[in-house]
Structure 1
Amino acid sequence: MLQSLCLRSLLLLLMGRHVYTQEQCLKASVNTCGDCIKSGPGCAWCKHVNFTKTGEQEAARCDTVAVLKEKGCASTDIENPPNDFVPIANKPLNNPVQIKPQEVKLNLRPGRPHTFDFEFKRAEGYPVDLYYLMDLSYSMKDDLENVKKLGKDLLDELTKITGNARIGFGSFVDKTLLPFTDTNVDKLQRPCPDKNEPCQPAFGFQHVLSLTKNGDRFKTMVARQNISGNLDPPEGSLDAIMQAAVCENEIGWGNSSTRLLVLATDDGFHMAGDGKLAAILEPNKETCQLVNNKYSKSNVWDYPSVGQIARKLEEKNIQPIFAVTKKMETVYTELSKLIPKSAVGVLSEDSNNVVKLIMDAYKNLTSEVIVVHDTLPDFISVKYTSNCKGGEKPSDRGKCDNVKFEKVTFRVTVTAEKCIKPQSFLIGPLGFSEKLKVNVSTRCECECDDTNAPHPHCGGNGKVVCGGCRCNPGFLGQHCECKLGQKDEASLKAQCRKDNVTECEGKGDCVCGRCQCHLTEGGGNFYGEFCECDDEHCEKFDNKQCAGHGKCKCGKCECDAGYEGTACHCAKSDESCKIDGTVCHKRGKCVCNQCECERGYKGLYCKTCPTCQRPCQQSGSCVECLAFGTGPFEKNCSLSCGHLKHNTVEKLIKSDCRVKDKEGCWMSFTMTELDGFDNYLVNVLKDRECPEGPNIAAIVGGSLAAVALIGLLILLIVKALLYASDLREWRRFEKDRKHEKMSGTNPLFKDATTTVQNPTFSGDS
């Protein structure tokens, strides 16, 4: 185990060194060495007087060690204050010392964690105080009879283990107001249903016996107790637990003892807010209010909350054991999850197993070691790891199980986020009074070995402090070269205006041609060449700047490892962007648990591209070589067409693409887009559609037939026209003949215009 611990420590040390050598220096407002080391754990300062160039800001001296060396700064001139760890009290582990060290002093660089070992070993024979807190409602009648007999047995069993045990007793029922208890006068005095049975008046909580080593005394005092009663099933358990915890003097809790509080009940519990049912509005104030050993504020203060109980038990180092009936086991198991170092045991019907139950719970509690801290100063964080199984990962509390009397080691890592005043806090195992006191201060100034004399580097008008000039009154500038009231101030002030607008953005003073920035309202600095930056106005989430998972730098969030988003509000994870095992279909990035699609893709997972078309024509040559082994890519098909996967099929239900190959044949195929860009699955129809050669006989025969048909059509048309013309003339002739018969003259006959007589003609034949 020791070898494993040493190896783990070495790895952590090496990892830590790696972190610091690789860490960036995020400079803010840096004018001095002190400003630099406050900027972050990765920042160092070069104190060589000639490191900066003329006109270069002093912030150039501040950077990582690696960058400063690269710029020519010698190791001896680099100011990089480390963390300091000083053990103040470091007694060895032995009875009764159970923790080591007992007090330490830490002087931390802001942002740079420091880890040290915290050891614990349980002392044998450590005193045990057990306070038995019993529900005396009427349903616990049989249990009370058995408890009256168990005092000496329980004390004997504890003494066997520790050699030093004490036992005490208290009881409770509930508030004596409706609806919790019957407020009839007679019922308040005798709340038990059997009038012949010994019964004590209703009450909230009463302290019966302070912690004692006298088992007979316990038996005598408990024997005097009688059962009582109330109305509703839940009891005033939390009222009783609170008083048993805060009334330390009355109960008699020891300062150096294991404190056990056994709660025996067969029902649930009222909690904060239930008091309103009885018009009780004043919250529980977590103070001891015992008058004559009875809780005097039972009917005035509300029940405490579970959170109040958990906090108060942890504060008082009290470990509760809930001895409850089987039907209440689930309720108190859930309650136990909210209270560190608590246990639950199941009582038999008459509580005759209570001694065994308590001893088993005690052994379980003592075998578990939980190391926690009290309230931390602002800007201080603490993490724990351990040499126990499952304790390797940093956590807010250290935990080891199955520990007996061997030593266990916890590694405590303390980090100061900012410069703070010296403060302290306590670390220790739950259930034990011994605590480690951790005194914390911060290293926020450099310790350069400078003289107090005027220096030539500062023109004799100032002294050198960590490589930079601190000018005498009346002088300004990088080398104290400017004297107050000198001429040509206008040109110097012009150098402080960005884009010739406001001088130093209105957030600083122009001194010798350079901006000296003011403080912000939050106490930080404006910074930048023109005081344009600050670290107090970044985007918020859940009312926390950068969601508490990053740092504000110049108005933008710089997220811690594992977080992203403009406000560092998203844990880095691809799970919300995954579908079918891929992130955003490989067409975008998962940013802040959402897909940011690329190249025109849209949708929740970048599934579709409304403006994209299937590259049918562009893929034709690849389809030809993949499916048929021909085409321009025939010789380097696998190299040129690796973005396509293909299948040859007998039949296509639907053809997305139809492309001609180099022989003029039609290829039919479908393209299904796969994850990523330009990545497709192509299903190609096995048979191509190729054109057939010309049929000469058919062409010639068809041509002659066409010519003959055309000639015949022409003849028929001419014949039809002639027939129509003849028919028209015939009808006209028939019409004229009909007219002749009616008039007796032939309308077609006309007499000669001139008649010539032949004088020689006599008319004789």
Structure 2
Amino acid sequence: MDFCQVFFLLLVMARGGLFQQTQVCSKTVVNTCSDCIRSGPFCVWCKQLNFTNTEKDEVTRCDTRDKLTEKGCDQNEIIFPVNSQSIVKENPLSESFEQQEPVQLSPQEISLKLRPGIAETFTVSFKRVQGYPVDLYYLMDLSNSMKDDLDNVKGLGKDLLTALNSITQHAQIGFGAFVDKTVLPYTNTNEKKLQRPCDDDSQQCQAVFGYRHVLNMTASEGEFKRKVTEQFISGNLDSPEGSLDAMMQAAVCEDMIGWRNSSTRLIVLTTDAGFHMAGDGKLAGILEPNDEQCHLSRNLYTKSTLMDYPSVGQLAMQLEKKNIQPIFAVTEEVVGVYEQLSKMIPKSEVGVLSKDSKNVVQLIQSAYNRLSSKVTLTHESLPNNVRVVYTPRCDYAGSAGENEGVCDNVREGQKIFFDVSVTADSCIKNTSFTIRALGIKDTLTVTLSSNCECECKDTDSSAHSHCNFQGRVNCGTCSCNDGFVGQFCNCSVGKKDESSLRALCKGESGVECEGRGDCVCGRCNCHQIEGKRSYYGKFCQCDDGHCEKFQNKLCGGHGRCKCGKCECDDGYEGSACHCKVSEDGCFKFNNTVCYGRGKCKCNRCKCLEGYQPPHCKTCLGCPNTCLTKLACIECLSFQSGPFAVAKNCSAACINMTVTMVDQFTTSNKECNQRDSEGCRIKFQLFQLVGEDSYRAEVLKVKECPEPPNIVAIIGASIAAVALIGLLFLILIKLIFYMKDLKQWKEFEKEKKKSVWTKADNPLFLDATTTVTNPTFTGE
């Protein structure tokens, strides 16, 4: 590297501010020179052969310049891509308006090739052209309250053009008027009121309208006066007007208004009322958003009743896009509203209009001087991961900023400069953005590309001895032929086996050697830093530099970092060795700490599950001890229960002692449980030191139920059976009785229906012989 190259490199580093920062190369996964360059702005690559060996991985080629030099890399073998710039188009600034397309901003096109993280600075110059054309569009509120103002404006043509001609010989003026949307609740929609909205019958009045373009841009004073004289006051209902509708159409209808390509474009809005904005159209049932398109037909805005008002953001974007600078000439009552609006619209001014608009010429002239003397350099939307900082160089310069640069009190013919610094935070593809001065047509197109590749210019493309004649050298490293792998292509594998060989270098994460080493013949060769092996383990998963810190010290300064975990010195403990070994803060009871239900860590009790700090004395969410200890209570107190049957009472209840009492000695919680024999046992439990150690006080007498009376039960059973049998018989008898009664009633019913005749029976014959007993006396 010759002296000129070194000098250029130092110049680039100084302009990028690299000397003011600590130079660190933070490497992650680095296998090639391009990987190194992408790792950070201070990373450089050593392409020197034999710079590495089997004890030094290829990643050691990537570091800062100073560290590579310390490791023995020749300065001439260090690769450090730098920023570059080339001016594609640079027309000189115009001295005056003598040509059709004067130049006020230079250069017009520049190409940058950026190293990620390093700023590239170039200079933009600007000069206001003397006599630059001015197009002024006078946009007037013609609601009834502006009657006096209209009368004065009709005679302003000469004064306005005189004022503009004092600025430039190429001045033009146009005229437009607005009221509001011709629908309720903004306007009275009665047919007569639509045609004549004025209350005074003697007053000349025109039909209501939203926005009307009256006069194209002209340099004729007479034409302006004639067209304005034809205008009359109209009217509406509410106070806010359709100002934003009118400004939007005046901005986007360029051809119909007559805006010139090379001119300073001004819209002068005069009104004494506020304005409707996006969303207000809902009051009239107008829901379609403003589309920011031109809708003028026969000089009238045709979408006034069909499309909502534009938002302030939409209007500001179109005004900036069309290079139009608005001047709000408003009455004192609403000046505060328009000052807030001006803050949201770049390159705009507000002036206080007198009651009758007599001061409008002076107001416009003052506002124009303020607008034209303030130069604001800014950009349109930037590509992702690109930053721009503007540093103005002028007599009255604002501070450097990322969004814009500002110079104030700039005179005609005065040349000013802006230093523009562009930084790409990552590698980007070919892209571009535009820089412009607000209100000026001239633009600067900045084309960007990345400088993320290494141009090593390796002359020998054949097999190289450095690669065991099984590969070629690329930026100092070996690019192996098919079937060979390894740092020096010294590992021969079949094409089919290479993927399985690399699979042996992948751990649980699936990343080869965890991104911290090179897979050489199926084994991880871990990366080193500063000559010491910083990663180790089968998959390079361990390192001794990423353990927990305390007070910004690794392992609190009282331990060693081992594979991501701290091994503390004697007398220290904790995940970061941040506390001394001590039990002073852990409550002691019967020569135990934490009631035997936890461990003392960092001088605090770390309790078993359920037991509560600070001393692990109580347990929340633990099982019901009255129920769980019942079997031991029954066994130890009354030699009954499941443990007594299995004859393992002492073994099962080794951590419990029982005392039989006539009554409880304390008011502790009382347990009342039913044992295996159905008797109720009353006892109290006292937890001793330890997780499952208890002392119990048990009442000597169990509450058992009285045995059943067998005789009474049998007698009652027999009586119940007899009673049931008797009831059964009565039921059967009742059923038969009801059946017989039903049949008798049916017989009686049929009997009543029978008819008996008194005629003689034809089968009966009278006696033919009568015999008298002589002995019968008749008594």
TM-score of the two chains, using structure 2 as the length reference: 0.63
Q: Which residue of 2 aligns with 1:460?
A: 469
The counterpart of 2:177, out of the listed 144, 166, 171, is 171
Alignment of 1:219-618 (within 5 A): 219-388=225-394, 389-405=396-412, 406-451=414-459, 452-485=461-494, 496-497=505-506, 504=512, 512-513=521-522
Equivalent pair of 2:28/2:515 in contact (CA under 8 Å) = no
Q: Deviations over 1:485-515 (max 9, x none)?
A: 39999996697255x8867389999663367
SS at match of 2:155: helix
**Residue 215 (structure 1) aligned with residue 221 (structure 2):** yes
Equivalent pair of 2:513/2:519 in contact (CA under 8 Å) = no
In 1, the alpha carbon distance for the partners of 2:35 and 2:138 equals 58
Equivalent pair of 1:131/1:170 in contact (CA under 8 Å) = yes
Q: Which amino acid aligns with 2:234?
A: S
Distance 1:444-1:344 versus aligned 2 partners, 3 A rule: same
**Identical-pair percentage:** 56
Offset of 1:19 from its aligned partner?
3.6
**Residue 117 (structure 1) aligned with residue 123 (structure 2):** yes
Distance 1:15-1:113 versus aligned 2 partners, 3 A rule: closer
Q: Which amino acid aligns with 1:372?
A: T
Offset of 1:211 from its aligned partner?
0.9
Offset of 1:105 from its aligned partner?
0.8
SS at match of 1:240: helix
| Structure 2: gaps spanning 5 or more residues | 1-9, 96-101, 527-536, 553-577, 586-779
| Structure 1: gaps spanning 5 or more residues | 1-9, 518-527, 534-553, 557-563, 565-597, 601-610, 612-765
Equivalent pair of 2:487/2:520 in contact (CA under 8 Å) = no
In 2, the alpha carbon distance for the partners of 1:251 and 1:423 equals 35
Equivalent pair of 2:290/2:310 in contact (CA under 8 Å) = yes
Q: Which amino acid aligns with 1:218?
A: F
Q: Which residue of 1 aligns with 2:64?
A: 64
Equivalent pair of 2:15/2:120 in contact (CA under 8 Å) = no
Q: Deviations over 1:693-721 (max 9, x none)?
A: xxxxxxxxxxxxxxxxxxxxxxxxxxxxx
Q: Deviations over 1:710-743 (max 9, x none)?
A: xxxxxxxxxxxxxxxxxxxxxxxxxxxxxxxxxx
Equivalent pair of 2:503/2:512 in contact (CA under 8 Å) = no
In 2, the alpha carbon distance for the partners of 1:335 and 1:138 equals 24
Equivalent pair of 2:16/2:119 in contact (CA under 8 Å) = no
SS at match of 1:157: helix
Distance 1:515-1:422 versus aligned 2 partners, 3 A rule: farther
Q: CA RMSD in A?
A: 3.2
Q: Which amino acid aligns with 1:278?
A: A
**Residue 161 (structure 1) aligned with residue 167 (structure 2):** yes
Q: Deviations over 1:362-408 (max 9, x none)?
A: 01111101011112222222110112345343331010111112111
Q: Which residue of 1 aligns with 2:81?
A: 81
Equivalent pair of 1:310/1:339 in contact (CA under 8 Å) = yes
Q: Which amino acid aligns with 2:301?
A: Y
In 1, the alpha carbon distance for the partners of 2:121 and 2:217 equals 40
Distance 1:83-1:532 versus aligned 2 partners, 3 A rule: farther
Offset of 1:275 from its aligned partner?
0.6
Equivalent pair of 2:86/2:112 in contact (CA under 8 Å) = yes
In 2, the alpha carbon distance for the partners of 1:373 and 1:123 equals 22
Q: Which amino acid aligns with 2:36?
A: C
Q: Deviations over 1:305-343 (max 9, x none)?
A: 111111111111110000000011111111111111100
Q: Which residue of 1 aligns with 2:681?
A: none
Q: Which residue of 1 aligns with 2:712?
A: none
Distance 1:11-1:183 versus aligned 2 partners, 3 A rule: farther
SS at match of 1:362: helix
Where in structure 1 do 4 or more consecutive aligned residues deviate above 4 Å?
Answer: 10-15, 486-495, 500-503, 505-511, 514-517, 528-533
Equivalent pair of 1:83/1:107 in contact (CA under 8 Å) = yes
Distance 1:13-1:213 versus aligned 2 partners, 3 A rule: farther
Distance 1:503-1:372 versus aligned 2 partners, 3 A rule: closer
The counterpart of 2:109, out of the listed 91, 100, 103, is 103
Q: Which amino acid aligns with 1:396?
A: N
Instruction: Indicate the larger mover: 32-41 or 359-368.
Output: 32-41
Q: Which residue of 1 aligns with 2:590?
A: none
Q: Which amino acid aligns with 1:297?
A: K
TM-score of the two chains, using structure 1 as the length reference: 0.64
Equivalent pair of 2:463/2:469 in contact (CA under 8 Å) = yes
In 2, the alpha carbon distance for the partners of 1:436 and 1:354 equals 35
Equivalent pair of 1:462/1:469 in contact (CA under 8 Å) = yes
In 2, the alpha carbon distance for the partners of 1:531 and 1:253 equals 69
Distance 1:493-1:55 versus aligned 2 partners, 3 A rule: farther
Distance 1:530-1:372 versus aligned 2 partners, 3 A rule: farther
Q: Which residue of 2 aligns with 1:45?
A: 45
Distance 1:230-1:505 versus aligned 2 partners, 3 A rule: farther
Distance 1:121-1:420 versus aligned 2 partners, 3 A rule: same
In 1, the alpha carbon distance for the partners of 2:538 and 2:91 equals 54
Q: Which residue of 1 aligns with 2:598?
A: none
Offset of 1:445 from its aligned partner?
0.7
Distance 1:11-1:515 versus aligned 2 partners, 3 A rule: closer
Q: Which amino acid aligns with 1:305?
A: S
Distance 1:512-1:204 versus aligned 2 partners, 3 A rule: farther
SS at match of 1:53: coil
Distance 1:21-1:45 versus aligned 2 partners, 3 A rule: farther
SS at match of 1:361: helix
Equivalent pair of 1:503/1:510 in contact (CA under 8 Å) = no
Q: Which amino acid aligns with 2:400?
A: K
Q: Which residue of 1 aligns with 2:206?
A: 200
Alignment of 1:658-677 (within 5 A): none
Equivalent pair of 1:91/1:102 in contact (CA under 8 Å) = yes
Equivalent pair of 1:493/1:503 in contact (CA under 8 Å) = no
SS at match of 1:399: strand
Distance 1:512-1:214 versus aligned 2 partners, 3 A rule: farther
In 2, the alpha carbon distance for the partners of 1:98 and 1:110 equals 32
Q: Which amino acid aligns with 1:453?
A: S
In 2, the alpha carbon distance for the partners of 1:306 and 1:490 equals 60
Distance 1:55-1:298 versus aligned 2 partners, 3 A rule: farther
Q: Deviations over 1:436-487 (max 9, x none)?
A: 1111111111111202121111111111111111111222221112222399
Offset of 1:23 from its aligned partner?
2.5
Q: Deviations over 1:499-549 (max 9, x none)?
A: x886738999966336799xxxxxxxxxx995989xxxxxxxxxxxxxxxx
Distance 1:364-1:491 versus aligned 2 partners, 3 A rule: closer
Q: Which residue of 1 aligns with 2:765?
A: none
Distance 1:473-1:505 versus aligned 2 partners, 3 A rule: closer
Q: Which amino acid aligns with 2:37?
A: I
Distance 1:211-1:512 versus aligned 2 partners, 3 A rule: farther
Equivalent pair of 2:524/2:538 in contact (CA under 8 Å) = yes
SS at match of 1:22: coil
Offset of 1:191 from its aligned partner?
1.1
Distance 1:105-1:494 versus aligned 2 partners, 3 A rule: closer
SS at match of 2:37: helix
